[in-house]
A = this chain, B = another copy of it.
Amino acid sequence: MVMDESVNPRLDRLFSALADSTRRSILMKLTNGDEGVMELAAPFDMSQPAISRHIKVLEAAGLVTRHRQGTHRMCRLAPDALGEIEPWLDIIADRYRSNYNRLDAVLETMKPSQQGDD
């Protein structure tokens, strides 16, 4: 019995890609505009192949797209990439709130009769 849509490989890849400081840094940098791999790699104390693989992970997660531009392979932040996360956050938040409301109602029911029980 699947209780929700939590079994979601796309979301797995998205969150997994975001779970690395280097990759989040790369994304932040890309908000300033497209950049090549070498420029992206520059600030990091890490080899170019390492950065290449981080970019590959971001690409696989749908967070980054690429296109050739001369000898450069430009990286671009995918427009609606992070948008997939928000619905999930909203679902959690909504369900959580509605549960708290129910809990409040229960507590309200109990209050007149007795209190002091923890």
Contacts and interface: CB of A to CB of B under 8 A. Distances in A.
Interface of A: 1, 3-4, 6-9, 11-16, 18-21, 24-25, 27-29, 31-33, 43, 69, 77, 82, 85-86, 88-89, 91-93, 95-96, 99, 103, 118
Contact of A28 (B6, B18, B69): B6
A115 to B, nearest CB: 17
Given A77-B96, A82-B89, A103-B33, A4 B28 contact: yes
B77 A3 contact: no
Contacts of A91: 28
B85 A43 contact: no
Given A9-B21, A24-B88, 6 more contacts: A1-B43, A3-B43, A6-B21, A8-B21, A11-B21, A28-B91
Contacts of A7: 21, 25
Nearest to A18: B15
